[in-house]
Structure 1
């Protein structure tokens, strides 16, 4: 009988560890390649990876968001500036930028996030995710001499949470949108193409910060900046294009272990240590 019990316990333990390994690998997918992440959960623009903390400028408050706290921009002068770091150079080969947004009043070319000198009108940025109205958005990545922009209509609604995600895999850029209500990811149609062919290397603009909540130089006019009137939560940047399955998980509300890949061996060692001490 004692031998049978030991065999049973060993089998159950094996299954337990197998489940941990499988679940750990699934979680690791959306953690792979995170470069920076601003969750705003602690009421600051701190980068959870430690790469580059942001600085608040103008009218920005930290309020209840999709998860914990989020950054709320007043639409007049509020934005967050994030200094360029060498870690961002890898984005020349591919990237993903995602965020949860709740737009109060969508303005033309007010940015959720962008990095560059101007919000458009030429190859003036690395990436951009912007509103164009209460329901429309414009996206893009740039290479030398070419602005890979495209617009999508009727993809968001004011005062509601939406998941937005821009990927660029070195060959093309794709915009993804999902409503909090159903979590279903949509790749909206665009007259300019979505997917939008745009072949790396992408421009990285090492002398320019990542800016959250403002689009610079509307129409190419320096000083004509468009400020976001809305809320941004969980802005995350990866150094690769996420897969459709990974994007679907994020759209359903799954959050990565911000910047920290799951170490399955450490998890197993910790779990086994707990078992042995009982």
Structure 2
């Protein structure tokens, strides 16, 4: 291979790396926090640039997740993750909360204090499974101020991985299950900003999640249906994989 051919390969490699970097940066626009639970110990690392590191309470087990490790939340042991208040968590105009969950049990009864919370910032925003077994979300401040409740009985996903999300764009509030719209209502107004900790796997009272949670992401923008469909079918490699990609490109030369 002559010098000219080597030069062409270098240019191609740089262009490929540029487009990969651009795609990743563009895809992460508006990402407030990403908890993958792949590390061990009593911390839940935030893979965004906002340092919303969580404190793991109750020593939940690390088990195989949809990608890497997941946290096993035990309702009886009151396991959950606490994230200290941070300005980046005050999301007021538009929001997306998404996560992979694998329920061990789903509470069904008449006591709302026992519903299964996935993520919540008290008196601001919530994503959970309500006492009737349906996916639900609540946004304080956005009007009409009422629970958005899905129609699917989440018991069908016990022992199975399912991708869930709630999205608010300032006009509509929508629930998604596996990338498909579950329920949508018109809403408007700003989400309340509060000085409270964010919780994963619990929010207050006895509203603990029971089962596995993985790849929790919080955004300050409304993800599109296409983005959520992709999120429910693809697991994107983190930024630190770029060095591996570069080495593979160099080897290909």
- TM bucket by the smaller chain? 0.7 to 0.9
Matched, 1:114 2:120: yes
Structure 1 match to 2:75: 75
When the two chains are superposed, the root-mean-square deviation of aligned CA atoms in Å is 3.0
Give 1:253's match in structure 2, choosing from 206, 211, 234: 234
Contact 2:98–2:216 (CA under 8 A) maintained in structure 1: yes
Displacement of 1:163 in angstroms is: 0.8
CA distance in 2: counterparts of 1:57 and 1:228, whole angstroms: 13
Matched, 1:204 2:174: no
Displacement of 1:24 in angstroms is: 3.2
Give CA deviations for 1:161-210 in whole Å, capped at 9, x if unaligned: 011111112222211111xxxxxx2111xxxxx3222223111222x111
Give 1:30's match in structure 2, choosing from 20, 27, 31: 27
Give 1:195's match in structure 2, choosing from 154, 173, 184: 184
Bigger shift: residues 161-170 or 132-141: 132-141
Displacement of 1:133 in angstroms is: 6.2
Matched, 1:235 2:216: yes
- Do the aligned partners of residues 195 and 145 (structure 1) sit closer, same or farther apart at CA in structure 2, a change above 3 Å counting? closer
CA distance in 2: counterparts of 1:144 and 1:93, whole angstroms: 9
Contact 1:52–1:83 (CA under 8 A) maintained in structure 2: yes
TM-score by length of 2: 0.79
Displacement of 1:225 in angstroms is: 2.2
Counterpart secondary structure, 2:166? strand
Counterpart secondary structure, 1:248? helix
1:1-278 to structure 2, matched below 5 A, reads: 11-43=8-40, 44-49=43-48, 51-58=51-58, 60-76=60-76, 77-89=78-90, 91-107=91-107, 109-116=115-122, 125-132=123-130, 136-143=134-141, 146-154=144-152, 156=154, 157-178=157-178, 185-188=179-182, 194-206=183-195, 208-216=196-204, 224-255=205-236, 257=238
Displacement of 1:7 in angstroms is: 5.8
Counterpart secondary structure, 1:187? strand
Displacement of 1:128 in angstroms is: 1.2
CA distance in 2: counterparts of 1:144 and 1:167, whole angstroms: 12
Give CA deviations for 1:109-160 in whole Å, capped at 9, x if unaligned: 21011111xxxxxxxx322111136962112222167524211122641010
Unaligned ranges ≥5, structure 1? 117-124, 179-184, 189-193, 217-223
Matched residue count: 236
Contact 1:97–1:165 (CA under 8 A) maintained in structure 2: yes
Contact 2:67–2:235 (CA under 8 A) maintained in structure 1: no
Contact 1:94–1:170 (CA under 8 A) maintained in structure 2: yes
Contact 1:135–1:158 (CA under 8 A) maintained in structure 2: no
TM-score by length of 1: 0.73
CA distance in 2: counterparts of 1:148 and 1:25, whole angstroms: 39
Query: Could you say which structure has the larger radius of gyration?
Result: 1
CA distance in 2: counterparts of 1:162 and 1:133, whole angstroms: 19
Counterpart secondary structure, 1:240? coil
Contact 2:107–2:133 (CA under 8 A) maintained in structure 1: no
